[in-house]
């Protein structure tokens, strides 16, 4: 296992912790939360796609355009859903009113 692979595996634990606490927060916009979970789906899709690229083509995933683009679709989708979720939350946000003295 290379250092890159070890760092990738270890980086999942902080992200899973992030998702855990984000899920427990009642203030997290639901659509944004779904987007953050879709990012996890991107990781899950990318791993077998990378293995397939290495086994079938002898190349890294980044060098197989159709496969790389298909995997990156999930990253784009997750980013879009996160942005739409926070946009929705901001549209419903009102600044605090100053209380009269």
- Return mean pLDDT, the chain: 89
Which structural domain, as residue segments, surrounds residue 71? 27-91
> CA–CA separation, 24 vs 9, rounded Å?
24
| Contacts of 87-96 spanning 24+ positions with Cβ under 8 A | 88/29, 88/31, 89/29, 89/32
> CA–CA separation, 20 vs 36, rounded Å?
11
Q: Is residue 18 part of a domain?
A: no
Q: Is residue 22 part of a domain?
A: no
- The predicted pLDDT at position 78 comes to 95
The model's pTM = 0.80
If pLDDT is split at 50, 70 and 90, which confidence band does 100 have?
low
């Amino acid at each position: 296992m290379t250092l890159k692979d070890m760092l990738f595996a270890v980086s999942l634990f902080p992200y899973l912790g992030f998702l855990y606490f984000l899920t427990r927060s009642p203030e997290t916009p639901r659509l944004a939360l779904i987007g953050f979970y879709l990012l996890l789906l991107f990781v899950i899709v990318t791993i077998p796609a990378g293995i397939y690229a290495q086994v079938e083509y002898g190349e890294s995933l980044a060098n197989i355009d159709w496969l790389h683009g298909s995997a990156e679709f999930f990253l784009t989708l997750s980013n879009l859903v996160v942005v739409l979720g926070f946009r929705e939350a901001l549209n419903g946000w009102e600044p605090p009113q100053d209380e009269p003295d």
